[in-house]
């Protein structure tokens, strides 16, 4: 009986754990930059995006690098959904059981192409 209860608890906790977010075809086209303000100075800001991976109950099942990768993938997916091609990251929040990051989504390449066409 104890084995059945332990197995049920383990199975329940495994069901609660989430997978790390993987990139999509659209999100792979979004460039991620950090601490390069000059890159986005002529870009159109489309909005703020955030991402978060991990939970207090399952963080020990995922490596930190996987949670960071998944968080960045979530943000790139959201940026792509806004029509952005560049994601400018802010300093990440301190984390111990999950990873949460936020940044601005920008449209840069089209801005540069529009400028060239106007001339």
Query: Which residues are CB-neighbours of 79 under 8 A, at least 6 positions away?
Result: 27, 30, 46, 49, 86, 87, 105
CA angle 95, 90, 27 (to 5 degrees): 95
pLDDT bin (cut points 50, 70, 90) of residue 4 is low
Q: List, in order of start, the domains of the chain with CATH numbers.
A: 2-118 (3.30.110.70)
- 14-23, 31-40, 43-52: least confidently modelled range: 14-23
CA angle 24, 113, 22 (to 5 degrees): 10
Percent of the chain surpassing pLDDT 90: 31
- The answer on pLDDT for 104 being more than 60 is yes
The pTM of the full predicted model, rounded to 2 decimals, is 0.70
């Amino acid at each position: 009986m104890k084995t059945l209860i332990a197995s049920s608890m383990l199975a329940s906790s495994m069901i609660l754990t989430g997978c790390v977010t993987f990139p999509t075809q659209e999100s792979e086209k979004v460039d991620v930059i950090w601490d390069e303000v000059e890159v986005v100075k002529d870009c159109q800001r489309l909005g703020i995006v955030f991402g978060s991976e991990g939970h207090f109950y399952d963080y020990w099942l995922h490596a930190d690098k996987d949670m960071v990768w998944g968080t960045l993938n979530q943000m790139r997916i959201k940026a792509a959904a806004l029509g952005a091609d560049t994601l400018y990251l802010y300093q990440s929040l301190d984390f111990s059981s999950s990873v949460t990051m936020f940044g601005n989504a920008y449209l840069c390449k089209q801005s540069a192409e529009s400028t060239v066409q106007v001339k």
